[in-house]
Chains A and B, each alone.
Chain A
């Protein structure tokens, strides 16, 4: 397997524009997580899905953020409208949970810059 695949790797956009980040989890994994990483706040969990169903979106900062998982092999994180404070690295991770196994596999991230 190629691992978790995210696109794009880098995104520069102007304030007010819509941004869509994409993620393909590892085949067979039943959990998918979206994280945001900044120097100030570290790694923050935004939302996670189990079997394509959103379970906990309490980390989503505002209504400007939304995430979907239409099927087991694809998820999107959308920011509309984007703001400069959304600049961060966004990671998607997936895992296969049986018992207490908690290993998460991260994608290479999308570095978002909003100017």
Chain B
């Protein structure tokens, strides 16, 4: 089977850097995705790592290490608007069934 583990909550200060980790157990997958969801809103795509290494998109970066079954989302120069839930997700090989982690709720304090 497949499962993804994320911390349930993270708190950080405005302007700081925060890392949200995701560990997974899956027999094979195409890549690791990250989504952001504000309260009452829809999940929105942030990033995708098909290969090991770091992908950077503005203030957000995402990392994948298949050998360690581990990935993370790095948010820099935190802003209040970054307060949201963040989900890691994988698509197991052989189909298009994306599996989401339980999500990490990020609280950004002034």
Contact = CB atoms under 8 A, between A and B. Distances in A.
B31 A91 contact: no
Contact of B87 (A43, A56, A100, A103): A43
B96 A55 contact: yes
Contacts, number: 53
A105 interface: yes
B25 to A, nearest CB: 16
Interface in B23-82: 30-31, 33, 41-45, 48, 50
Name A's interface SS.
strand
B100 interface: yes
10 contacts: A42-B102, A55-B95, A55-B96, A102-B31, A102-B91, A103-B33, A103-B45, A103-B48, A104-B45, A105-B45
Given A91-B43, A103-B45, A108-B41, A45 B99 contact: yes
B98 A45 contact: yes
B97 A56 contact: yes
Contacts of B45: 103-105
A48 B103 contact: no
B7 to A, nearest CB: 14
Given A55-B95, A56-B97, A103-B48, 20 more contacts: A42-B100, A42-B103, A43-B87, A43-B100, A45-B97, A45-B98, A48-B97, A56-B96, A97-B96, A100-B30, A100-B31, A101-B48, A102-B30, A102-B31, A104-B43, A104-B98, A105-B45, A106-B42, A106-B44, A108-B41
B42 A107 contact: yes
Which 4 A/B pairs are nearest by Cβ-Cβ distance? Answer: A106-B42, A43-B100, A103-B45, A42-B102
A16 B102 CA distance: 30
